[in-house]
Structure 1
Amino acid sequence: MTGAPFDCLIVGGGPAGLMAAIYLARFRRSVCVVDAGTSRAALIPRSHNVPGFVHGLSGTELIERMSAQLDELAVARVQAEVTALRRHGDGFEASWNGDAHAASTVILASGIVDTHPPFAEWRGAVADGVLRYCPVCDAFEARGRRIGVIGPLHRAASKALFLRGYSRDVTLLATGQDDQKGATPELRDTGVELLFAPDLHLRRRGEGIEAVFADGRTMPFDMVYPAMGAEVRSQLAVSLGAEHDTEGYLKVDAHQRTSVHGLYGIGDVITDLHQISVAFGHAAVAACNIHHSLPRRLA
């Protein structure tokens, strides 16, 4: 095992993990942030929900600004993937780059990976703001546009209904094999067009997106919101026996503590309300609790 134990190891370098690191560093705790470089926030072309940025800012810019704060605080940061997490005495032992590292506490801020629709150009479409994953974040900018929502009905219906509050032209492209059995009157009553298209794929068309059906028909949209679920990156915690729901989201208490003593969960790994402001709140709560749970540090 290399080096002295950290007070806290933070797995994940998105907004949640970086905010927790800022708090803990200012509490004069030894912190290491290990980041695999796959933050979902880095894909955000512009967020308008971060307070103080009148015209919004990109996810990349937010991460760069927060990283600069950590540089000022001399926080250790490593670009690597934590491949294993084990109990070690009263704390933990984490492995990355072939070495083992000890920590008294661990914060899992590893987030989620969205399931993308059948769309070869999805990454460029996200950057251009025509493929969007979070209507809570950006439906305000989609007002009055022609909107498509794609995914199995049980996931996509609520997103389509939410977006109907911003546009009269919302079409739900249901991709589930049995979706025709589960159509809800609420979609019809609110004017959401429902099409069953299990073999649908998407492609770019001008400044928007085109849905291509199995029979060759096409339908253009200004923007499309996938609702196809996500992989919750909670495996490290689950391997230690942490309680979680059926989708993999970790269960935590009011202090962000998982059922494993000393292990905390923050951000998207514990909730399907994928918001930067929520991640910040989780981070502050977890960091304060960790600081008070560790032996007092005197000047």
Structure 2
Amino acid sequence: MIPRTHNLTPFPDGISGQELLGQMLSHARRYGAVVEAGTVENVEQQGGVFRVVANRRIALARNVIFATGVFNHRPSMAADDHAKGLARGLLRYCPVCDAYEVRDKRIAVLGRGKHGLQEASFLRHYSPFVTLISPDGSSVTARNGIRILQPALMGIALSETEVLLTLQDGHTHHFDTLYVALGTTPRADPAIRLGLDLDDAGHIAIDSKHKTSVDGVYAIGDVIDGLDQIAVAMGQGAIAATAIHNDLTASIS
């Protein structure tokens, strides 16, 4: 969902999320990966082999990597407006990925409690103009030069270049971008049905090699606990893939 990020090596001129995905898919296919679109309905283990059921088809595998990510909790707005806001860089979700893109801009953060304040504090290093707005009007103590708008959010509107936030007191405030800090939910339903252990926040539990509680199953990316960042997830994929390679080699020998 990133319109452009300069926080990924080796793209010093920046790269969009869609362009990055396209290059990664092309790279994988060139070296033999088969990529299929579909919805996984179930993953089950039978006799040391995993059956992955998707779109009425069954794929068999000796290993499975869960890279199912998270659901970002979205603000209340039309899907078309949300998509346009993302494409224009008016709506953002990951300051670790793209805060550089909004340095010295007027930044609004939609969030509540400790999580909202932490995200606003992170962004304060990139701009002196950071405002925290709670979706329900809950109180937050201002700090780190962060502006707090207390009334609850009533509506979000987008122009070509601005985000307009109207609060319940009737006032409308203008910003260059809005970071949504409403939290996430791990996409762990298939993992739960397979019997994988989860942590207290619902992430898939892993060891140092990204092995889960079920032999032959690994997990990487945002569905595990850690820093939700592209480069981090890529490194986790390398660790899990190497562990699987070594396990398969050991079983053959």
TM-score normalised per structure 2: 0.92
Tell me the SS of whatever aligns to 1:294. Answer: helix
Tell me how far apart the structure 1 counterparts of residues 154 and 112 of structure 2 sit (CA, whole Å). Answer: 12
Letter in 1 for 2:75: P
Per mean C-alpha deviation after superposition, the further-off stretch among 107-116 and 71-80 is: 71-80
User: What is aligned with 1:101?
Assistant: 59
Matched length: 250
User: What is aligned with 2:122?
Assistant: 162
Tell me the SS of whatever aligns to 1:280. Answer: helix
User: What is aligned with 2:105?
Assistant: 145
Aligned pair partner of 1:292 in 246, 250, 253 = 246
Q: Specify every segment of 5 or more residues in structure 2 that has no aligned partner in the other structure, as ranges.
A: none
Tell me how far apart the structure 2 counterparts of residues 205 and 140 of structure 1 sit (CA, whole Å). Answer: 22
User: What is aligned with 2:195?
Assistant: 241
Does the 8 A contact of 2:133 with 2:153 survive in 1?
Answer: no
Q: CA deviation at 1:165?
A: 1.2
Tell me how far apart the structure 1 counterparts of residues 36 and 160 of structure 2 sit (CA, whole Å). Answer: 40
TM-score normalised per structure 1: 0.79
Q: CA deviation at 1:156?
A: 0.6
Tell me how far apart the structure 2 counterparts of residues 176 and 239 of structure 1 sit (CA, whole Å). Answer: 34
Tell me the SS of whatever aligns to 2:85. Answer: helix
Tell me how far apart the structure 1 counterparts of residues 225 and 26 of structure 2 sit (CA, whole Å). Answer: 27
Letter in 1 for 2:209: H
Matched, 1:219 2:177: no
Aligned pair partner of 1:258 in 191, 194, 212 = 212
Tell me how far apart the structure 1 counterparts of residues 194 and 14 of structure 2 sit (CA, whole Å). Answer: 39
Moved over 3 A (4+): 295-298
**RMSD of equivalent CA atoms:** 1.8
User: What is aligned with 1:46?
Assistant: 4
Tell me the SS of whatever aligns to 2:243. Answer: helix
User: What is aligned with 1:268?
Assistant: 222
Letter in 1 for 2:132: L
Letter in 2 for 1:154: K
Tell me how far apart the structure 2 counterparts of residues 263 and 297 of structure 1 sit (CA, whole Å). Answer: 15
Q: CA deviation at 1:241?
A: 2.0
Aligned pair partner of 2:183 in 210, 221, 229 = 229
User: What is aligned with 1:80?
Assistant: 38
Q: Call closer, same or farther: CA 1:197–1:94 in 2, change over 3 Å.
A: farther
Letter in 1 for 2:194: L
User: What is aligned with 1:60?
Assistant: 18
Tell me how far apart the structure 1 counterparts of residues 122 and 29 of structure 2 sit (CA, whole Å). Answer: 40
Does the 8 A contact of 1:118 with 1:200 survive in 2?
Answer: no
Does the 8 A contact of 1:208 with 1:223 survive in 2?
Answer: yes
1:100-157: CA deviation from partner (whole Å, max 9, x where unpaired) = 2221110011111211112321211111111111111121221111110002223211
Q: Specify every segment of 5 or more residues in structure 1 that has no aligned partner in the other structure, as ranges.
A: 1-42
Tell me how far apart the structure 1 counterparts of residues 226 and 173 of structure 2 sit (CA, whole Å). Answer: 29
Tell me how far apart the structure 2 counterparts of residues 166 and 61 of structure 1 sit (CA, whole Å). Answer: 25
Does the 8 A contact of 1:202 with 1:209 survive in 2?
Answer: yes
